[in-house]
Chains A and B, each alone.
Chain A
Amino acid sequence: MVGMPRSPSESGVHKALAVRARGISKSFGEVVALDGVDLDIPPGQVHGLVGPNGAGKTTLLGLLLGLAEADGGDLEILGSPVRRKLAVPSGVAGFVDGPGLYPALTAWQNLATLARLRGEGSDGVSDALEQVGLTDVAGDRVRGFSLGMRQRLGLAAALLSRPRLLLLDEPANGLDPVGTRHVHRVLSRLAADGTAVVLSSHRMDELAALCSEVTILATGRVVFSGSLRKLVRDLYDLDYRLRVSDPAAARRVVAETPGLHVLDDDDLLQRHDAEVLLVRAAVPVLDDLVARLIGAGVGVRELAPVVAPLEAAFLSLTAPGSARGEEDA
C-alpha cells in the first residue's frame, strides 16, 4: 500500500477518527471481498472510495453501515468499536446500491415516515428537501422520480439523521448538472460542519472536485490511500495534449528535453489536428518543457492531461497485473 498516513494508533488520535479500520477482511464463501483493509477517515473529510467493479467498495461500505460483520480485523466507527452486525453508532447514515425509497409514498412522506420512525417530528423534512433541491416535488410520488431525483432524495433521507459519518454509494448516478451542484454543495457543507463523508464513485471528476483524500481498492486490497495531491505526485508519466503555434519546432524541443517524448501512435486526438502533439512526461518535466518551448519562440496554447490525473492513477493502480498495484499491495 502507498500513501497511508501515519498510524493514528501510534499517534493516539484514533478516538477522534470517524472511521478507523485495521486489517479488515470479509469473504463470501470462496470469494474474498476484502483482504486486510486499513482505513483512517477523520471528521470533516470527504473521502473517495475508488476501485473497479468487484474491488470490494460496496462490501466495505456495507461494513461501515453495519449491514455485515467483518470476518477479521478491527473496526472503530465514531470512536466506538464495531464487532457485530447492525451495531454501528447512531451517527452513521447513508446508502449502498442506491437509496431505499418507497415509490407509493411521496417525497415528503418518505422522509416524514423515516423521521417518525426515529421518534422525531417532521420539522426537518422541508429543510432536507430544500437542501437537495426537491422542495417543488415534495408532494409527488417517488414512483415518478428520475434516477437523479431519487439519488437526491436518498441524500435528503440520510441528512435527516444529522449524520457524523455519511456513506454514499455512487451518489451522482443520474444527476444532471443542477443536481450535481446541489449534492456537491450539501456534501461540502456537511464536511465543513465536521461530518466525515465517504463517497464511492466511478466518476473521477466528482471525486476530484469533492475529495481531499481517496482510497483505491483493487481485488479487496487497498492499493492507495491518501491525498489526491500525493496520488498525482507519485504517479509515473502521464500523457498530455500539447497544442502549440509551431508543431515542427515543438517536436524538436520535445526531443531535446530529457525525460519526455512524443507519442507517435496514430492517436485519435492527433489525427485531425496538426497543431497538437501527444507527449508523455512526469509532472516536474513539464515545467522544463514549457520553459524550453517559450525560449524557442513556440507559443503554448494548451497543455492538459489526456486523462484526468485521478483517472490515470486509478487505471495505473488497478489494471490487471499492474506491477505497481502488486508491489504496493
Chain B
Amino acid sequence: MTTATVALPRTGTWRPSTWRNYRFELIKLLAQWPVRLALLACWIAPALLVAAISQSNSLPSDTVFGRWMTQTGWAGPLVVLAFSCSWVLPVLTSLIAGDVFASEDRLGTWRHLLVAVRSPRRIFVAKALASLTIMVLIAAGLTTSGIVGGLAAAGNRPLVGLTGQSLAPGHAAGVVLLAWASVLAPTLAFAGAGLLGSVAFGRSPLGLVLPALLALLMQIVQVLPLPVVVRVALPGYAYIAWYGLFTEPAHTGPLIVGVVVSLVLAVVAAALAYRLFMRRDFTDLAYDGVGRRVLVRAVLPLTAVFAVMVAVIAGSTSVSGSGTGIDGPKLDRSLQTAFANLYRMQTAELNRPAVTDAHIHASAACNKGSPFEPDSGPGNDWRCVITWRLPGVTAIGQVIYQLDVDPDGRYVADGDGPLSVNGYFPVHTSVGNVPNPLWQFDGSVDLLTLSVK
C-alpha cells in the first residue's frame, strides 16, 4: 500500500461542492445506454426525418406548418417541435427525471452516495441540475437537428405564419428559436413531476411509470373540449401556446400564462420532492417510497396549486369560466386576415398585379353546425364564407372554407370553392408547380384575452 506516499486525508467534516456533485451525477446519467440512445436519436433523427419528408410528395399537413415543408427549411423544426411537444418531450422528460432518484434505490447506492457526499441537499440539487441538463441537451438536439435537416433540404426561405403573413428567414429563425425556448417551461413542469414521482415512490416502478402516464394524460386532456381557464392552467398548455408566436399580431398572452403556470408547477413539484427527500430515513432498509402518503404529500398540494391557478386565471381574464375561448367573431378575424395575406401571396406567385389589404378588403362570416347551434367551441363543422373585392373589377368575390377547429384554438381551413381560388392543390408558377396557399391553410385563434381587472 502506498499511503505513505500520498497526501494526508482531510480532517474535519468535508463535503464535495455542488459543482462536483453535479458532474458526478451527469457522468452517471450519461453512462446509461438509454440516455445515450435518447440523446443520439434526438440529435440525429429529426434531421433525417425532416430532410426525407421535405423531399417527398406526401407532406404531414395534419401537423401545423407541415404543408410548408417543401417550401422553407424553417417549417421542418416547427413540425419537429409540434411532434416533440405531443409525446417526445413530456415522456422523455418524465422518464429521465423520474429515474434520477429511483435508480439509486434500484442499485442500492444511496448509502454509498450519502457517505461520499454527506449532504442530501447537495445531492438533490446536483441530481435535479443533471437531469435538467440532459433535458436541455435533448431539446437542443431536437432544435438543431430539425433546423439543419430543414435548411439542408428546403433552404433558408421565408416562412408563412398562421395568419398567412410571410416571415423573412432571419425573423423566422428568431421566432423558431423562441418557440423552442418557450417549451422548456412545460418541460420543467414535467421534470418536476418526474422528480416528485422518483422521490415519492422509491424503487417502485410507479415512480417511473406514473410521471410518464401523467405526461400522456395531460396531452390527451389537451384535446378535450375543456373550459379555457382549466386548459391554460394545465402544465402541458405551453406545449401548444407557441402557435401564438406565429400569428400577427402575436398571441403572447396565452403563451405567457402557460409559461408562468408551468414554472409555478415546476417549482412546487420540485419543492415537494425536496421536502420528501430531506425527510427520508436512509437507514431504513424497508423504505419503499412514501406509499399512500403520496396523496397527502404530493397529489393534494399540486391539485391545490392547480385550483388556485385556475381561479387566478379566471379572475384576471375576460374569458368566462366555462368558455372554450373559441367563437365566431374570433374565427372571422383570424380567417379574413389569413385569407388576405395568402391571397396576396397567391397573386404574387401567379405573377398577377400586386394587391394590398385595402384593395382586397376581405371579410369572413363563420357559422358552426346548424342555425340553432351557438357559434362557439371547437369542432369540424364550422363553415366560413369570405368575401373580398376582386382587383380591377367592381364585382365581389366569395370563397367558402370548411374549418376544423381544435380545442387549443388551432384550425385547418379547407377550401371549398370556387375552383379558381382554392380548388386545386398546386398552382402553376414561373418556377413550376407549388402548393396553392389558399387550397388549405392553418390558422390559430387567441383563446385567452388578458384583461387585467
Interface residues on B, range: 35 or more
A162: chain B residues at CB < 8 Å are 3, 6, 8-9
For B286, the closest partner residue in chain A by CB is: A28
- Among residues of B, the one whose C-beta sits closest to the C-beta of A79 is B11
Contacts of A96 in B (CB 8 A): 111
Does A90 lie within 8 Å of B111, measured CB to CB? no
Q: At the interface, yes or no: B307 with Cβ under 8 Å from chain A?
A: no
Stretch at the interface among A111-119, A221-229, A256-264: A111-119
A97: contacting residue among B1, B4, B10, B111, CB under 8 A:
B111
Question: Using a Cβ–Cβ cut-off of 8 Å, how many residues does chain A contribute to the interface with B?
Answer: 50
**In the bound complex, CA of A101 to CA of B27 (Å):** 13
Nearest CB in chain B: distance from A98 CB, A? 6
Do B12 and A100 touch across chains, with their CB atoms under 8 A apart? Answer: no
Decide yes or no: A68 and B12 within 8 Å by CB, A86-B119, A97-B108 being known contacts.
no
- C-alpha spacing A188/B18, complex, angstroms: 36
For residue A87, CB closer than 8 A to chain B, the reply is yes
The one of B10, B24, B108, B120 that contacts A90, using a Cβ cutoff of 8 Å: B10
* Nearest chain B residue, comparing its CB with the CB of A26: B283
Q: Is the CB of A104 within 8 A of B31?
A: yes
- Chain B residue nearest to A63 (CB atoms) is B283
Q: Are A95 and B115 in contact (CB under 8 A)?
A: yes
- Is B13 touching A68 in the complex (CB atoms < 8 A)? no
Query: Which residue of A92, A117, A159 contacts B20 across the interface (Cβ within 8 Å)?
Result: A117
Contacts A117-B20, A163-B9 given: A104-B109 contact, CB under 8 Å? no
| Interchain CB contact under 8 A, A164 and B9 | yes
Chain A residue with Cβ nearest B117 = A117
Residues in chain A near residue B114, CB distance under 8 A: 66-67, 86
What's the least CB distance linking A63 to chain B, in Å?
Answer: 8
Whether A59 touches B283, Cβ cut-off 8 Å, given contacts A88-B13, A95-B112, is yes
The residue from A58, A67, A117, A118 contacting B282, defined by CB atoms under 8 A apart: A67
CB distance from A29 to the nearest CB of B (A): 10
A-contacting residues, B1-40, CB 8 Å: 1-4, 6, 8-14, 16-17, 20-21, 23-24, 27-28, 31-33
Interface membership of B52, Cβ < 8 A: no
| Residue in contact with A100 in the complex, picked from B3, B9, B113, B284, CB distance below 8 Å | B113
Which chain A positions have C-beta within 8 A of B2? 124, 127
* CB pair A86 B108 closer than 8 Å: no
Answer yes or no: B118 CB below 8 A from chain A CBs. yes
Please name all residues of chain B whose beta carbon is closer than 8 Å to the beta carbon of A66 when the two chains form the complex.
114-115, 118
Q: Does B373 contact A (CB under 8 A)?
A: no
**Interface assignment of A161: CB less than 8 Å from any CB of chain B:** yes
Interface of B is mostly: loop
Contacts of A102 in B (CB 8 A): 28, 31, 107, 109
A109 interfacial by beta-carbon distance below 8 Å: yes
Q: Which residues of A contact B393 (CB under 8 A)?
A: none
At the interface, yes or no: B62 with Cβ under 8 Å from chain A? Answer: no
Once the chains are docked, how many angstroms separate the CA of A88 from the CA of B116? 11
**B115 contacts A91, C-beta separation under 8 Å:** no
* Chain B residue at smallest Cβ distance from A94: B115
Given B8, B31, B110, B119, which contacts A109 in the complex, CB threshold below 8 Å?
B31
CB <8 Å contact, B284 and A113: no
Complex Cα distance A193/B5, Å? Answer: 12
B4 to chain A, nearest CB (A): 8
With a cutoff of 8 Å between Cβ atoms, the chain A residues found around residue B10 in the complex are 90-91
A3 within 8 A of B: no
Is A133 part of the binding interface, using a Cβ–Cβ cutoff of 8 Å?
no
Closest-CB distance, A264 to chain B (whole angstroms): 45
CB-based contact A119/B20 at 8 Å: yes
Q: Report Cα–Cα, A89/B20, bound state, in Å.
A: 19
Minimum distance in angstroms from B174 CB to a CB of chain A: 39
Q: What residue of chain A has the Cβ atom nearest to residue B16's Cβ?
A: A117
Tell me whether A190 is interfacial, beta carbon within 8 Å.
yes
The listed residue (A88, A100, A114, A119) touching B108 by CB distance below 8 A is A100
Contacts of B112 in A (CB 8 A): 95, 99-101, 157
Q: In whole angstroms, what is the CA distance A161 to B9 when docked?
A: 7
Once the chains bind, are A90 and B11 in contact (CB under 8 Å)? yes
**B residues in contact with A193, CB < 8 Å:** 1, 3-4
Cross-chain contact A190 with B1 (CB below 8 angstroms) = yes
CB contacts (< 8 Å) of A68 on chain B: these are 281-283
- Known contacts: A113-B24, A193-B3. The answer to whether A95 contacts B111 by CB under 8 A is yes
Cα(A228)–Cα(B4), bound, Å: 30
B11 touches A89 (CB 8 A): yes
Bound CA span A158–B28, Å: 19
Residue from B6, B9, B107 whose CB has the most chain A CB atoms within 10 Å? B9
Q: Roughly how many angstroms separate A117 CA and B130 CA in the complex, as a whole number?
A: 14
Candidates A59, A89, A100; contact of B107 at CB < 8 Å: A100
Given A67-B282, A90-B11, A90-B14, 4 other A-B contacts at CB below 8 A? A90-B10, A91-B9, A114-B116, A193-B3
Question: What are the 5 closest A-B residue pairs judged by CB atoms, nearest first?
Answer: A100-B112, A100-B109, A104-B31, A68-B283, A90-B10
